[in-house]
Amino acid sequence: MKDIYILGIESSCDETSASIIRNGTDEIATVILSQIDIHTNFGGVVPEIASRHHVKNITMVIEDCLNKANMSMNEIDAIAVTYGPGLIGSLLVGLESAKTLSFIYNKPLIPVHHIAGHIYANNLVKTMKYPLIALVVSGGHTDLVYMEDEYKFKRLGGTLDDAVGECYDKVARVIGVGYPGGPVIDKMATLGSHTYNLPIPLDDNSYNFSFSGLKSAIINLVHNEEQRGNEINKEDLATSFQEVVVDIITKKTLKALKDFNVKNLVLAGGVAANKGLRDKLTLICEENDIDYTFPPIKYCTDNAAMIATAGYFLYKEGRFSDLQLNAKSSVELQ
Ligand code: KG4
Ligand code: ZN
């Protein structure tokens, strides 16, 4: 069978990225330009600044990727692009670039849902087996998804308020360790011990999550200690926070695996890079005879390799879009 090369483009938040993937499994080249250093100054992503930087960089990123792959646009079979969800101004930059290339080079345009991309990043590690449960944990999502087969998503539940990554970023800001908070808190959590008594978030029988109560408890704790002139032990707080978060997430993931009698788990999204979460999931999967896959650390946060990979499976089904395709800031996983 002929090899299929998909050019993926991702610009939904603060990473400008392009990637070429062969047959939905082999990475030929990937370029990721992160704006983290720019947004760190503001303590979070500023949408207007993000889209301006995408405009400035997108052409260069796509060109770099083609050069790195030593390929020309004529050798590309289709262009996959994130159309949502994400920041509208950021999404539009990648989308318009993809539409332009699709028009000029007469290549099919494949619309990829950002979260489908995060899930399919696992296919770069090993072929995904169905049925599976996908645990999606990012700055915008905390979802448990049942997949019966390729591109058949059923959302079992998710966060009722803050996403888990958002909560990490907020806690990091409150204790003054910068943006994005996830990686910093994750590292600090290996240095402390679980000494702070924090509320367990939404410990019920559902597949839903709620992190706003936990977030508020930490904000109050930090403020109260400050007012009393006491110093917070940041490492201990990071450990206490991470353990509570990881425990509830793994508990509900295991429940979903058992309830649906599923033997395959994939992890997805920026928070999939979390060491505490990976370690605990590994433990429960090994104890329960579950086959698990985690994306490579570099492809946990936003990147175009995952978009090109997810795009390949839509390509196989001929699910293309015309040039009317529009960006959507929020859209159901499909
Ligand atoms: O998937 P992503 O790049 O963007 C969204 O689609 O949201 O995820 C970014 C989020 C941020 O909130 C960041 O703090 C979090 O992922 N994150 C982590 C870790 N690395 C990134 N959270 C916890 N532990 C980490 N090691
Ligand atoms: Zn993402």
Task: For residue 245, give the CATH number of its domain.
Answer: 3.30.420.40
233 and 139, same domain (yes or no): yes
Q: For the beta carbon of residue 2, count every other beta carbon within 10 angstroms.
A: 6
Q: Which atom of ligand 1 is nearest to the CA of 12?
A: 6
**Is residue 325, in this structure, part of any structural domain at all?**
no
The pLDDT of residue 179: 81
Taking alpha carbons only, the member of 275, 276, 273, 286 closest to residue 194 is: 276
- Which residues in the chain show pLDDT less than 50? none
154 shares a domain with 102: no
How far does residue 126's CA lie from ligand 1's centre (Å)? 22
Q: Judging by DSSP bridges, how do beta strands 15-22 and 26-34 pair with one another?
A: antiparallel
My answer on whether 248 and 306 are in the same domain is no
Ligand with smallest separation from the Cα of 188: 1
Peptide bond into 131 cis (omega under 30): yes
Gap from CA of 176 to ligand 2 centroid (Å): 24
Ligand 1 centre and the CA of 270: distance in Å? 3
Question: Dihedral angle at the C-alpha atoms of 62, 64, 69, 74, nearest 10 degrees?
Answer: 50
Q: Ligand 1: which of 114, 138, 299 to mutate, most ligand atoms within 8 Å of CB? A: 138
Domain assignment of residue 84, yes or no: yes
84 lines ligand 1 (CB under 6 A): no
Both 53 and 161 in a single domain? no
CA-atom Rg of the chain in angstroms? 20
Indicate the helix (H) or strand (E) that contains 154. strand 153-158
Q: Are 58 and 151 found together in one domain?
A: no
What is the C-alpha to C-alpha distance for residues 305 and 282, in angstroms, rounded to an integer? 24
Give the separation between CA 150 and CA 275, rounded to whole angstroms: 28
Output the pLDDT for position 305. Answer: 98
Q: For residue 227, what are the domain limits?
A: 127-294
Nearest CA to ligand 1 atom 10: 139
Residue 327: inside a domain, yes or no? no
Verify whether ligand 1 is closer than 6 Å to residue 243 (CB atom).
no
Residues 77 and 199 in one domain: no
181 Cβ closer than 6 Å to some ligand 1 atom: yes
Residue 48 shares a structural domain with residue 157: no
Q: Which pLDDT belongs to residue 180?
A: 85
CB contact at 8 A, 311 and 304: no
pTM of the model: 0.96
**Residue 334 included in any domain:** no
140 lines ligand 1 (CB under 6 A): yes
- Please, how many CA atoms are within 13 Å of residue 133, restricted to the half-sphere of its CB? 28
Ligand 2 center to 15 CA (angstroms): 9
Q: 55 and 185 in one domain?
A: no
Q: Express each pLDDT in 259-299 by its tens digit.
A: 999 999 999 999 999 999 999 999 999 999 999 999 999 99
- 291-293, strands of its sheet edge to edge: 153-158, 142-147, 132-137, 264-268, 291-293
Domain count, the chain: 2
Asked if residue 261 and residue 176 are part of one domain, the reply reads yes
Phi, psi of 199 (to 5 degrees): -70, 140
